[in-house]
Amino acid sequence: MRIISLIILAAVFLVENILDAHSTYLVVSNTSIKSEKNPVARFLFCRFGLIKGMIILKSIIVIVLILIFFVYPFTNLELHIILSISIFLYLLVVLNNYRIYIKLKKQKISK
């Protein structure tokens, strides 16, 4: 049963990463790369462009997730905690990105 919950948490984490990529694209494409707060992401976006940089960044995240599952000797409880905290933090980031995008959209409409 624990492995099923880990798979569900990993799936939610991956979906949140897709939503993060989408929301980041919406914000950055309507403002500038400078609006990206993550310095690693900002570097990759400047170096490779927004879409390629995002693909590279998200690929790194997926590789790290795979390594966490198969290489590091975490217990099931530790993996649950790591994924749960990561999901919570990504939720905050995604909600903030969409909030910023909605605010930008409203500003464009009112002009």
Around 13, how many Cα atoms within 13 Å sit in the side-chain half-sphere?
Answer: 24
Q: What is the pTM of this model?
A: 0.86
**More confident call, 99 vs 80:** 99
Q: CA geometry: angle at 51 spanning 82 and 19, to 5°?
A: 40
**More confident call, 74 vs 107:** 107
SS3 32: coil
pLDDT digits (tens, 9 = 90+) for 39-61: 999 999 999 999 999 999 999 98
pLDDT digits (tens, 9 = 90+) for 6-49: 889 989 999 999 999 999 999 999 998 988 989 999 999 999 99
Angstrom distance (rounded) from CA 109 to CA 105 = 6
Angstrom distance (rounded) from CA 8 to CA 49 = 32
pLDDT at residue 111 in the model = 66
Work out the mean pLDDT of the chain and round it to a whole number.
90
- The phi, psi pair for 31, rounded to 5°, reads -130, -105
Average pLDDT over residues 68-80: 79
